């Protein structure tokens, strides 16, 4: 058996999320169908994170154990050939030791959330960003986000259905970039942490949007965090603006590896 690390991009709109679910399309199932075409043992694919329905990825990582050795470049090309009917692409493949685990070996995950402020509906970015009509105050959102940096009990900012054993997480950074956008403004929220709770990023962005819109003072974010009560959270942002951008490891398994075409 040889283990391979696989870096994946996908458009989350057609899927019920990353995780395999009976009767519902998932990214994991699409990848496993592709793997099954290459390996009669049909080995399972293990992902670094379980993105929700409608959430996208530019840097999801998974691992799979194949019963025979493959050249990583050729394996990437073969997988992409079998994924051609799905909005999923393998962008890098690397042979790794069996000690490598896509989920448990990760030391940091990075998410991007795209929020666009404009009156007109989105056309090219429909399903790829959250549109709001109001202009937002980026500095106020940065002041609100500052309350969330570090190690905290994030009960307020996690789904009531979250299965994590503890609400304690450490957020390393929340960066908010404002840029011009056709007929409006775009706000890009980049969050980095070792791991996140279910709906944590979307809960944080939805809350910060309230700050940017002037409905919440920045200090109210700290009050909500301290309450450790889900009812103190702002609205949860929709999934279409969220992207898993990167999963990082003590040693980058990919280096200069890439997929086949």
Q: Which of the residues are catalytic?
A: 52
Query: Which H or E element spans position 202?
Result: helix 200-212
Could you tell me whether strands 150-153 and 45-47 are parallel, antiparallel, or unpaired per DSSP bridges?
unpaired
Q: Which residues, at least 6 apart from 205, have a Cβ–Cβ distance to it below 8 Å?
A: 113, 115, 130, 189, 237, 241, 242
Q: Residue 68's CB: how many other CB atoms inside 10 A? A: 9
Strand partners, 115: 130, 187
From 1, 2, 7, 3, select the one nearest 76 (Cα to Cα): 7
What six digits make up the tokens of 55?
């959430």
Cα separation of 22 and 233, whole Å? 32
Q: Which residues, at least 6 apart from 146, have a Cβ–Cβ distance to it below 8 Å?
A: 218
E strands in 11-107: 45-47, 56-66, 88-96
Total residue count of the chain as it appears in this document: 261
């Amino acid at each position: 058996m040889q283990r391979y690390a696989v870096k994946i991009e996908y458009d989350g709109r057609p899927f019920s999320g990353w995780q395999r679910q009976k009767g519902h399309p998932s990214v994991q199932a699409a990848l496993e169908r592709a793997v099954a075409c290459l390996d009669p043992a049909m080995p399972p694919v293990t992902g670094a994170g379980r993105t929700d329905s409608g959430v996208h990825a530019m840097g999801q990582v998974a691992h799979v154990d194949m019963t025979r050795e493959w050249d990583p470049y050729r394996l990437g090309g073969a997988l992409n050939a079998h994924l051609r009917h799905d909005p999923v692409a393998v962008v890098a493949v690397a042979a790794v030791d069996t000690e490598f685990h896509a989920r448990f070996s990760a030391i940091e995950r990075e998410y991007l959330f795209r929020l666009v402020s404009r009156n007109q509906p989105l056309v090219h970015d429909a399903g790829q960003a959250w549109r709001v009509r109001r202009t937002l105050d980026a500095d106020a959102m940065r002041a609100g986000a500052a309350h969330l940096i570090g190690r905290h009990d994030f009960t307020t900012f996690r789904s009531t259905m979250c299965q994590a054993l503890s609400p304690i997480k450490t957020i390393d950074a929340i960066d908010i970039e404002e840029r011009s956008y056709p007929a409006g403004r775009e706000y890009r929220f980049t969050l980095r942490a070792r791991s996140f709770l279910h709906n944590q990023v979307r809960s944080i962005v939805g809350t910060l949007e309230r700050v940017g819109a002037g409905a919440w003072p920045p200090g109210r974010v700290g009050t909500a965090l301290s309450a450790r009560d889900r009812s103190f959270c702002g609205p949860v942002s929709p999934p279409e603006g969220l992207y898993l951008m990167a999963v990082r490891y003590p040693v980058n398994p990919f280096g200069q590896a890439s997929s086949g075409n």
